[in-house]
Amino acid sequence: MNIERFLPTEEAVALLELTQELAEHELAPKVDDFEARGEFPREGIRTLGRAGLLGLPYPEEFGGGGQPYEVYLQVLEVLAGRWLAVAEAVSVHTLSCYPVAAHGSDSQRKRFLPDMLGGELLGAYCLSEPQGGSDAASLTTRAVRDGDDFVVTGTKAWITHAGVADFYNVFCRTGGPGPEGISCLLTEADTAGITPQAREKTMGLRSSPVAQIAFDSARVSADRLIGDEGGGFRIAMSALDSGRLGIAACAVGLAQAALDYAVAYSRERDQFGQRIIDFQGLGFMLADMATQVSAARALTLHAARLRDAGRRYSVESAKAKLFATDMAMKVTTDAVQVLGGYGYVADHPVERYMREAKVLQIVEGTNQIQRLVISRALARQH
Amino acid sequence: MKIVVLVKQVPDSGAERNLRSDDSTVDRDSANNVINEMDEYAIEEALKLREAHGGEVTILTMGPERAAESIRKALSMGPDKAVHVLDDALHGSCALATSKVLAAALKTLEPDLVIAGAESTDARGQVLPHMLAERLGAAALTGARKLTVDGATLTIERQTEEGYEVVTASTPAVVSVWDTINEPRYPSFKGIMEAKKKPVQTLSLGDLGIDAGEVGFGGASTAVVEHARRPPRQGGTRVNDDGEGGVKLVEFLVSEKFV
């Protein structure tokens, strides 16, 4: 379906057209095969990178696209509608560039960003650990200073792009307990002592590798410390505010795809002598789905526009992530219902959409954590 | 190396296409107009040559005002500049007249190499590259599935139904390419932005020293006498297997050159 988009510039319109074309020709024909085989589409992502889609919200002087979040998120939305794992890859990579872009020194930005934004490299973000996901401040991976290096030991969990990424942002404890003891190290994936473990067998996003990563006395040069020593937790949290918007946009794109498929099907499918969309019970269901998708898009882009204007957007970003991903779960489930038995089999994509939607309620802070962020903000208000 | 790539705007071959009822020319108003598919391969080949040998790539288009969209699209893939031959009097030009106009434009550009798609998806004549080579006194290397450049020596593998022929010539030359020659790149976001700033020179018939009477309907050497819509699809041939079914199927496949 054609979505009435409100884009700020002509170049944004051109960018969305390019994204549509790439999604249509490079993603749509391949998604089923790659998901079935559980194969990561590294070449496809390189194609997006060469087109300039792997560094959109970063400054042009470092090779980024110089685009506002409002535009970047709509690009993600289009990609997610064709292949959620690829949109997630773009979102995770973009998030992986955030610590050095926002908190790195000038020389670190000059040294690292052009390659990271250039489209050939892929990043990952190592925050969660087996015993601590939501409670990130309690992480135990240790980095001990030894001469010009940090020596990193511990285990990170749920790492998207484990084994395929070229660099990892590793959040580790360089000081005492609590959030003030955490630092951020930008490490190369081929550093000795960094070993991705066996891939998790996931419900959805099967083409996207997720695994634990073991750090066994991995030596990382101290000039790869991003921000201040002890400043890592603040970096992680501010990165998550942006990452949440990425996930919200993915949810909107996925739900839009489910809606489009359900609408197309219900216009074709006849029962009792008429199209099933003309039965009010089903037509109203589709109307509710369409409204929910539009509402989630509006909420997500509102938070993005606040971010673009340099305003506080942390709570709005949590609301957008919460609403858009719960919405995507509901809309994809309803899309399966619209197709009936056909919705439950893999011949139609809606069963995949439904499996994929679930993870969006969990990643970048579970939706319970989003509610915590929002309710704490409410409690602080006078 | 100075390379000129011929780019034609055509109606999208994936959608229904029509001829106009008034003058039997291609109906561009009701169509989604795009770069002729084969021309994208020509652009890609030119860009690869520039990457390997240096030089400059110029897009040359003859077409109405709206062809400017296709020129921008072509430039977003990476060429340096474009020339748009634009003149109302060109409407209705035959292939021969088109080759006269393009040859005149090419003479002002003095390319070492002209690369074109082997055919356009609307007319499918495949004649223009040959005509241009003749008018320019350049070698015609047509129907290439592979192009190698070694100094001023060009070698192509000319695609045929049975295989390929190796043809060699020196520059200046006109090379036409099939879609087997490469995989065209997508434009990049930066390429799209840069394309807006690239120079596009517009030339009229006057600029090229061609009289309006030599082109258009008046100067056409061919004319469309009448046209009709494609007849509805006929039912296929039914082969009943009375012991010879397999043989008949193979005979059919051979007659259609499927095997």
State mean pLDDT over B45-67. Answer: 97
* pLDDT at B79 > cutoff 70: yes
Give contacts of B185 with chain A, Cβ < 8 Å: 50
State mean pLDDT over B128-156. Answer: 96
Flag whether B249 is in a domain: no
The overall average pLDDT reported for chain B is: 93
Does A7 lie at the interface with B, CB-CB under 8 angstroms? no
Domain harbouring B124, CATH code: 3.40.50.620
Flag whether B83 is in a domain: yes
Flag whether B259 is in a domain: no
Flag whether B146 is in a domain: yes
Plot region of A7 (φ>0 → left; ψ -120 to 50 → alpha; else → beta): beta
Flag whether B234 is in a domain: no
* Whether ipTM exceeds 0.90: no
Flag whether B28 is in a domain: yes
**Chain B residues 133-162 with a CB less than 8 Å from chain A:** none
Query: Where residue B128 falls among pLDDT bands split at 50, 70, 90?
Result: very high
Tally of domains within chain B:
1
* Chain-chain contact of A15 with B186 (C-beta, under 8 angstroms): no
Flag whether B142 is in a domain: yes
Q: Are B158 and B167 in contact (CB under 8 A)?
A: yes
Give contacts of B190 with chain A, Cβ < 8 Å: 52, 65
Beta-carbon contacts of B92 under 8 Å, excluding residues fewer than 6 positions away, are: B23, B25, B216, B217, B220
Q: Are B82 and B56 in contact (CB under 8 A)?
A: no
Tokens of A180: 């003030």
Which mean pLDDT values do the consecutive 10-residue runs of chain A (382 residues) have?
A: 86 94 96 96 95 95 95 98 97 96 95 93 94 84 96 96 96 94 96 96 95 97 96 93 96 98 97 96 98 98 97 97 98 98 96 97 94 96 70
User: Which of B187, B199, B170 shows the shortest CA–CA distance to B44?
Assistant: B187
The domains found in chain A, sorted by start residue, are 10-117 (1.10.540.10), 123-233 (2.40.110.10), 237-381 (1.20.140.10)
The verdict on whether A200 is a catalytic residue reads no
* Chain-chain contact of B186 with A21 (C-beta, under 8 angstroms): yes
Does A64 lie at the interface with B, CB-CB under 8 angstroms? no
Does B32 lie at the interface with A, CB-CB under 8 angstroms? no
Flag whether B232 is in a domain: no
Quickly list DSSP for A50-115. HTTTTSTTS-GGGT-----HHHHHHHHHHHHHH-HHHHHHHHHHHHHTHHHHHHS-HHHHHHHHHH
Tokens of A295: 């509402």
How large a percentage of chain B has pLDDT more than 70?
100
Out of A15, A26, A47, the one facing B189 most closely (by C-beta) is A15
Amino acid identity of residue A40, one-letter, is: F
Does B183 lie at the interface with A, CB-CB under 8 angstroms? no
CA angle A250, A256, A260 (to 5 degrees): 150
Alpha helical stretches, state H, A104-231: 106-117
Q: Are A235 and A102 in contact (CB under 8 A)?
A: yes
Does B185 lie at the interface with A, CB-CB under 8 angstroms? yes
State mean pLDDT over B174-203. Answer: 95
Rg, C-alpha atoms of chain A: 21
| Span A165-214, pLDDT tens digits | 999 999 999 999 999 999 999 999 999 999 999 999 999 999 999 999 99
Q: What pLDDT does residue A382 have?
A: 61
Q: What pLDDT does residue B236 have?
A: 82
* Chain-chain contact of B189 with A14 (C-beta, under 8 angstroms): yes
Picking from B34, B185, B189 by the largest number of A CB atoms within 10 A of its own CB, the best residue to mutate is: B189
